[in-house]
Structure 1
C-alpha cells in the first residue's frame, strides 16, 4: 500500500489541536446550539467554528472550494469536517443562519481569558479602547454569489483594547447601522474611547460625560468653538492647543 507524505503535514496535525484548545475549553460554557425544526443539526457549533477557523487559515477561495477540501483532504476530514460529513445545501444554511449567539458568547469569554494573561501596556493612561465600525464584505460565497458593493452588507462595531492589543467587544448590525450609539455599549465608566471624527455629535459628547466615560475624538475643522478657558502648552511639544471649549452653536 503506497504511503503519501506531505511536507509539514505532521507538524500541522500537532499544531491545529493546540491552536483550537482555548476554544475547545470554552465550548461547554456556551448556550447549546439547537435545531429550529424537527430535523437534527447537520453540524454542531464546534464543527462550525472549526470550519470557519480552517477557512481563514487556509484562505480558501469560496464556500464551494472549502466543501471540496473538507471532502477530499485527509487532514480536513479528520480534524475539521463534521464526523458524518455535510451536504452543500445544509452547510450554507447552517453557516448563514445559525450560531451567531454562540459566536458572540465565545468571543466575550475568550477576551476575558486573554486579558488575564496579556500584559497591560501604558497603564498610566488608564483603560483605553479604540472604537470603530466597518462594513463586512468577506463571506464564504463571495466569489460566486451576487454580491455588490452597495448591497447585502453587514457592519461590525468593534471595541479594541489598546492596552493589550486585542479586540474586547463586538456588535453586528446591517450595513446602514449607525456607529455612534455603540459607544455607550462598548465603553464602561472610567474608560477612555478613541474615535474618528465620524463619531462627532455634540449631544453624544454630553451623554458620554454624564455616564462617566472619557473620550478622544477628532472633530471637523469647521466646528464652531466657544473658548471658555485656555490652558498653557509646552513650546515645541506635541500638544499645540489645550482649552476648555463649548462646541457648536449655544
Structure 2
C-alpha cells in the first residue's frame, strides 16, 4: 500500500503488534517512515518487520514516558503519533464494576492522552511544525453501542480529546483526527465471538454473524482498509483535514 512519501518521518504506533495497529505500522513503513511499534508483548512487536519495538504499557504513565523516550533516542523526534492501543469489553452498567470501568478508561482514553501528550512536543517544536496525530476510536465513539456503556464512553472521549487538541493547535501544521471503524476482522472479534458462544450457547458461525450483521455492508472490515485511511491522513492530500472523526463502517449510521 503506497500513498505519498513519508521518508524520514518517525511514526510511533501503540498496540502495533497485531490487528489495526500492525496494519497501520506496516503501511507507514512501506511509505518510508521510520516506525516504532509499542505494546506490552515484545515478542508480538518483533514480528513486525522493519520496525523498532518498544515494550510499553499505556496504562502506566512511567512506562509511556520511558517508552516514548526510548523511541525518540533510537529513531529521532516523533512526527506521527498513532494512539491505537485499546481493549473492547461489554457489560451492562449494573454489571460494570469499578475495576472494569477503570481498566477500559485507563487503556482506551487515558492511554491515548498519555501517548499523545508525550509525543506532541516533537511536532510542535519542530522547525516546520509538521505533525500527524491519529487516534483509533470506533464507530462506538459516534453512537451508542448496546451492552457496552464503558467502552462507548471511552471511545467518545477519544474523539473529544482529538477535537479539543485540533482546536488548540489550529494553523500550526499539526493535524488531529480519529478513525472510527465498525467491526474489523481482528482478534477482538475472535474474542467477542468466544464470549457470545460461552454466554448463549450459539455456534461459532452464528456468534460471529452477530457482529458481521452490525456492519451496514454485511461484512467485517479488513485491517488494510483502516490502515489506508490512516495513511491518507498522514499524506499532504489530507493536510486540511483536522478535528475529524472518519467513519470506516460500510455505510451511514
| Greater Rg by CA | 1
Higher relative contact order (CA 8 A, sep 6+): 2
TM-score range, shorter chain: under 0.3
Q: When the two structures are superposed, what TM-score results if normalisation uses the length of structure 2? A: 0.26
